[in-house]
Amino acid sequence: MTYQEKKSILNLISAILIFTVYCLYRYPQHPEGGLESADTFRYWGSFVLVLTAVTLVAHILISIVFNIVFRMTTGEKEPTFEDELDKLIRLKSIRNSFAVFVLGFLLAMASLVASEPSPLMFMILVASGFLSDVTGSLSRLYHYRRGV
Amino acid sequence: MGKNLVGNHIRRLRFNQNEMTQQQLADKAGVTRQTIVSLEKGNYSPSLELAFRIARAFGLPLEEVFYYEDNEGGNAP
């Protein structure tokens, strides 16, 4: 298995782990009271912002550790540049990822139109962000293994 | 994925060239090893520029490294 394939699998696993652990940690902190209270909006705002920061930092740390382990176990250096295949696959994975997020965004807006409680809209947005990340990693893995 | 119509002899040529490794060929052609792996598996049709660079890495003309195969018979070996 090549560096890119291993990296795609790692990104997929780490995205799932980070999101699951973060949700398990934050879910019990959901404010009591009315669904439309100011606390609820503050909670979801901080949920998304902290999740973004945590995901970013965790991905960087995991990537550094992975590169060190990769060098130690294989004796190879990780590629330091993107060639034409990498660029093509990145574009395709971003396209798929974006499509999933847009679908989730539209679903979130539809929930508002249907007069569903606003926390549901936030949940759909957060879930679509997570699913788009997973879709991106899966697409990358698929194209590296099966071609473009 | 659609069927890849551009085939190549990269694996055989590497073997003939003193068992050149995929990494060595990748370094010569200026791509990652992943791209050489995908080309050998027939999962990827390279750009014209990359095809020329790979042919140059072997010191051969393009048509001795790559071939085009279509439904009308093609010129695969």
Q: Of the candidates B23, B42, B44, which has its C-beta nearest A85's C-beta?
A: B44
Residue B59 lies in a domain: yes
Residue B57 lies in a domain: yes
Q: Which residues contact B77 (CB under 8 A, 6 or more apart)?
A: B9, B67
Full domain range(s) for residue B12 = 6-65
Residue B43 lies in a domain: yes
Neighbours of B33 (CB within 10 A): 19
Residue B39 lies in a domain: yes
If 0-12 CB within 10 Å is exposed, 13-18 middle and 19+ buried, where does residue B55 land?
A: buried
CATH of the domain at B35: 1.10.260.40
In a mutagenesis test of the B interface, which of A84, A88, A145 is the best target, namely the one with the most B β-carbons within 10 Å? A84
Q: Please count the residue pairs, one from chain A and one from chain B, whose beta carbons lie less than 8 angstroms apart.
A: 48
Closest among A85, A99, A22 to A59, alpha carbons compared:
A22
Q: Of the candidates A2, A3, A84, which has its C-beta nearest B50's C-beta?
A: A84
User: Angle at CA B5, nearest 5°, toward B3 and B24?
Assistant: 105
ipTM above 0.90, yes or no: no
Residue B10 lies in a domain: yes
pLDDT band at B72 (very low <50, low <70, confident <90, very high): low
In contact, B56 and B71? CB cutoff 8 Å: no
| Number of compact structural domains in chain B | 1
pLDDT tens digit string along A108-120?
Answer: 999 999 998 888 9
* Between A85 and A76, the higher pLDDT residue: A85
Residue B77 lies in a domain: no
**DSSP single-letter state for residue A103:** H
